[in-house]
Amino acid sequence: MKRIGSCLFAASAAFALIAADAPRRPDPVDPAQVDIETVELAPGVAVLYGRGGNIGVSYGADGVVLIDDQHAPLTDKITAATKALNSGAVRFVVNTHWHFDHTGGNENLGKGGAVIVAHDNVRTRMSTDQVIEALNYAFPPSPQDALPVITFTEGVTFHLNNDTLTVFHTAPGHTDGDSMVKWETANVLHAGDVFNRSGVPFVDMSSGGTVSGMIEAMTTAISMSDENTIAIPGHGPVGTYADMVAYRDGIKTVLERVKAEHAAGKSLEQILALGLEWPHAASGPVSADRLVQAAYADVAGGN
């Protein structure tokens, strides 16, 4: 892999633990404090690291396609990074889900002529008031220029830059609007926040996410990959097929333990008191307790 720029494998500040007070907007991002790092993964494919969700880039003779676009104040730096790869404008933006650290640049890029594409539920959520309860964040409806103008139920395919980009909706895991993107020729998969290598998996139950859906979505990603696949997570450095399998199996381990404890008659509070841990290295601030709570909701709800 060829590296360009400085390194910043920072997970979004969105996933900070917060006090139980009135819902609020996330703190604004200062672009002066963020560097964009570009890593070329294959011919015509790159990932941009900055602040927020990792951005996948398809570039070549047909222009630029971005998978997610981080925060609005970073748009100029992001477009500068894409111009270093390709002189063409950003033609399309694909949102892997609705969260602000993945769609914050939509309005700027939409006004600049990019066509925004996402699952139906992404447009629905961005068009209405939303609260991420686990983070205590509240959001008003997004401006018109930020909304996806092409939506799909199952998926959509792009034939660009000597590759086929297959965009497909997955089971409700991180949210109910999750999508992944597979570069078929380059063998690169952008899994969005269903696959998070910066910390404990985050299941946004207020946005329709479920632990069982997260497992199903990761199983789908694995089924569309092989040992040579390069996996772009929503946060953290790129991974491998083995990383995806280990991540999926880690979620399974937590869910099965919660199922067993629930079947033994333990309450959520009693299960939390066991101190179950995420079985992989985790530098992000989201606690394993949040994953246990989401797993308990799955189990108690019959998922």
Measured CA to CA, the distance from residue 97 to residue 213 in angstroms comes to: 14
Is 22 a residue whose pLDDT tops 90? Answer: no
With 0-12 / 13-18 / 19 or more C-beta atoms within 10 angstroms meaning exposed / middle / buried, residue 109 is: buried
Domain presence at residue 160: yes
Cβ(148)–Cβ(126) under 8 Å? yes
Q: What is residue 280's predicted lDDT score, i.e. its pLDDT?
A: 78
Cβ(248)–Cβ(218) under 8 Å? yes
Give 24's DSSP letter.
Answer: B
Domain presence at residue 16: yes
Q: What is residue 144's predicted lDDT score, i.e. its pLDDT?
A: 98
Domain presence at residue 248: no
Domain presence at residue 277: no
Measured CA to CA, the distance from residue 232 to residue 56 in angstroms comes to: 8
Boundaries of domain holding 13:
2-243
Pseudo-torsion of CA 50, 56, 59, 65, nearest 10°? -100
- Taking only the tens place, the pLDDT of each residue in 211-227 is 999 999 999 999 999 99
Q: Report the CATH number at residue 83.
A: 3.60.15.10
Single-letter amino acid code for the residue at 143: P
Domain presence at residue 286: no
Q: Which of 9, 115, 6 is nearest to 66 (CA)?
A: 115
Measured CA to CA, the distance from residue 42 to residue 126 in angstroms comes to: 32
- Taking only the tens place, the pLDDT of each residue in 153-207 is 999 999 999 999 999 999 999 999 999 999 999 999 999 999 999 989 999 999 9
- Taking only the tens place, the pLDDT of each residue in 54-82 is 999 999 999 999 999 999 999 999 999 99
Helices vs. strands in the chain: H and E counts, helices first = 8, 15
Q: What is residue 281's predicted lDDT score, i.e. its pLDDT?
A: 66
Domain presence at residue 227: yes
Q: Which of 173, 192, 121 is nearest to 291 (CA)?
A: 173
Domain presence at residue 12: yes
- Taking only the tens place, the pLDDT of each residue in 96-138 is 999 999 999 999 999 999 999 999 999 999 999 999 999 999 9
Q: How many domains does the chain have?
A: 1
Domain presence at residue 68: yes
Give 94's DSSP letter.
Answer: E
Q: Which of 71, 156, 144 is nearest to 110 (CA)?
A: 144
Across the beta sheet with 179-183, what order do the strands follow? 155-160, 163-169, 179-183, 188-190, 230-232
Q: What is residue 21's predicted lDDT score, i.e. its pLDDT?
A: 74
